[in-house]
Structure 1
Amino acid sequence: MTSTDSLPAAPKHGFKLGFGLRDAGTLIGLLVIIGVFAALSPNFLTERNILNILQQSSINACVALGMTLVIISGGIDLSVGPTAAIAAVAAAALMVGGTPIVFAIPAAILFGMAAGAVNGALVAYGGLQPFIVTLGTLSLYRASALIYTGGNPIFGIPPAFRSLFNGDILGVPTPVVLVAILALMVWVVLNKTPLGEYFLAVGGNEEASHIAGVPVAMTKIAAYVISGGLASIAGLILVGRLGAADPTLGNLWELDAIAAAAIGGASLMGGKGSVV
């Protein structure tokens, strides 16, 4: 069997939007929480507070999008926080050194994607457990950021970069809009492309996927590359808000991202999950 028509059956997502019973339960729980806080405070449902909550959540949501793909494909990525840190440090160093913002941002994202590619290659070709690999690169990437900066934050971030992530679009904070667009893109990848089917198939049954002709190694690497890129974007958002790149940035982000993905319906055993 070599045709992708022979792929293992991917788990059903429910409706066309990928909305299932587990998602409905999570949504109901969220609505209950919102109702409780709205009853306790008259300011909770104000526009200002809702936008503030969304802005505060945008960074975790960005990291969780990539983590969701990794978990669906049967892996785990504990290095997302340090990946965000080295990308943020790289962007800050480039901008302080005179590199235009239009080049510094893509360079930092590519840096994070390269870090993800290292994770993916070690998992796919090294035969190592994702937990062990990313636990090791967690320390490696964090140490790299600390050594490069001497443990000190990088200041002098250009005002234009800060305004890019502190502005708003039609009254909605830019980070919220950006993460919404990224969520839509990840949803399209997962639900409308062969790569999305590969993620689900590899996470569900790696051996059967290999027999069916799925490029298992490249699928795993793709998941980690996307995770690294999204973690980098989250790091850039935080740098824009703080006005400095701290080498300790992103501490424990991996725990929040894993929790967000799991609560959102992604199975930690792989092969199941959605962006919705």
Structure 2
Amino acid sequence: MNNQTEVKTKPSFGVLWQKYGTMGIFLLLLAVLTIAKPSSIFNPDSIPQILKQSAVNILLALGEFFAILIAGIDLSVGAVAGLVGMLTAMLMVNGIPVIPALLLGILIGTMIGFCNGMLVNKTGLHPFIITLGTQSIFQGLMLVISDSRNIYGFPASFTKTMSASILYIPVPVIIALIVAAVCAFFTTKCKAGRNIYALGGNMEAAWYSGVNVNLHRLLVFMISGTCSGIAGIVLLGRVGAAAPTAGTGYETYAIAATIIGGTSFMGGKGKILGVVIGGMIIGIINYGMTALMIPSSYQKIVMGALIIISVAIDHFVAKAKN
């Protein structure tokens, strides 16, 4: 008989941060905004706006999530969203029916992701370098194909659908949640999804275990391109026009949402639910600072600080475990 008594130890900061950090930031942010200006944050008009703004952030962050999960990054997500939105707009304006135009737009996003993945695999360069270059290429293509002009005049069916709500939930939010559910199923129930986690945890060990590194890395960037393409279409419906600068800077929001959502920049760790909450946090920050009439330049300062703080905490937590 074992007479030894079990000693219960208090959970460390690292454990608490991993479990409750994202939700804690979310609740703290709501509390601060409630105190600062409750009338502008919580009313029947503001909540749908926050949700719509968060939908694009969530979709882009879902794509970024997979890139960061393998200890990489995709700096082109915002540019891909803008380019897909531009091309989809041109298809609809030139008489292509809405559904085929949207499907073609998403397919273009997937193919762009395929190109990013192939470049990473064939060159052996870090995704940071590849996607930094393709980001600039895609932004330039938007200016060229649009002749630096906005494109508008979409079919009424598209604009009405994207501005509609189902059971008081805006359609863009429903789209984002469906994509998030598919991604969650993929990462938890599919072998390829589990292999991507293994790839991020230890690429060499994954290779020795029989994981096709290049194939899964290619898949990661295809998923990122697909999510970015869907985000571009949602952004197109929200704005009502395709601007040649659309998506610029959105990669910062995507990275911030992913990291704040608990995804480790070192790879191999993160959950889709955290990414969704992270996207909502970014949406609330943007809306709240606008409601408080804080200049957009300060919003960028806040985003940058959040990324640094979140990555720093993740780094120190990981270091404390070793």
Normalised by the size of structure 1, how large is the TM-score? 0.89
User: Per-residue deviation at 1:100?
Assistant: 0.5
Give 1:27's match in structure 2, choosing from 23, 30, 36.
23
Tell me if structure 1 keeps the 8 A contact 2:63–2:77: no
Tell me if structure 2 keeps the 8 A contact 1:23–1:264: no
User: Per-residue deviation at 1:146?
Assistant: 1.0
5+ residue gaps, structure 1: 1-18
1:46 correspondence with 2:43: yes
Counterpart in the other structure of 1:118: 115
User: Per-residue deviation at 1:142?
Assistant: 1.0
Provide the alpha-carbon RMSD of the alignment: 1.5
Give 1:150's match in structure 2, choosing from 143, 147, 152.
147
Give 2:235's match in structure 1, choosing from 228, 235, 238.
238
1:256 correspondence with 2:243: no
Tell me if structure 2 keeps the 8 A contact 1:62–1:179: yes
Counterpart in the other structure of 2:271: 274
User: Per-residue deviation at 1:120?
Assistant: 0.6
2-structure distance, mates of 1:93, 1:179 = 23
User: Per-residue deviation at 1:244?
Assistant: 1.3
2-structure distance, mates of 1:103, 1:29 = 40
User: Per-residue deviation at 1:40?
Assistant: 3.1
Counterpart in the other structure of 1:4: none
User: Per-residue deviation at 1:47?
Assistant: 4.1
Give 1:199's match in structure 2, choosing from 196, 199, 209.
196
Please list, as runs of the form range in 1=range in 2, the aligned pairs for 1:10-159 lying within 5 A after superposition: 21-43=17-39, 44-159=41-156
User: Per-residue deviation at 1:42?
Assistant: 3.5
- Identity of aligned pairs, percent? 39
Counterpart in the other structure of 2:225: 228
For residue 257 of structure 2, what is the amino acid of its counterpart? Answer: A
For residue 32 of structure 1, what is the amino acid of its counterpart? Answer: L
User: Per-residue deviation at 1:125?
Assistant: 2.6
Q: Deviations over 1:92-136 (max 9, x none)?
A: 111111110110001001101111111111112321110100011
Tell me if structure 2 keeps the 8 A contact 1:189–1:196: yes
Counterpart in the other structure of 1:247: 244
User: Per-residue deviation at 1:20?
Assistant: 7.8
User: Per-residue deviation at 1:23?
Assistant: 4.0
For residue 210 of structure 1, what is the amino acid of its counterpart? Answer: W
Counterpart in the other structure of 2:289: none
Q: Secondary structure at the match of 2:186?
A: helix
Number of residue pairs the alignment of both structures matches: 258
Name which one, 1 or 2, has greater alpha-carbon Rg: 2
Larger proportion of helix: 2
Q: Deviations over 1:59-82 (max 9, x none)?
A: 111100110111002210001111
User: Per-residue deviation at 1:144?
Assistant: 1.2
2-structure distance, mates of 1:147, 1:154 = 13
Q: Secondary structure at the match of 2:270?
A: coil
1:163 correspondence with 2:156: no
Give 1:173's match in structure 2, choosing from 158, 170, 174.
170
1-structure distance, mates of 2:17, 2:194 = 20
2-structure distance, mates of 1:99, 1:48 = 34
Tell me if structure 1 keeps the 8 A contact 2:21–2:262: no
Q: Deviations over 1:127-169 (max 9, x none)?
A: 1110100011001111111111111111221111111211111
1-structure distance, mates of 2:90, 2:49 = 29
Counterpart in the other structure of 1:3: none
Q: Secondary structure at the match of 1:198?
A: helix
Q: Secondary structure at the match of 2:238?
A: helix
Counterpart in the other structure of 1:215: 212
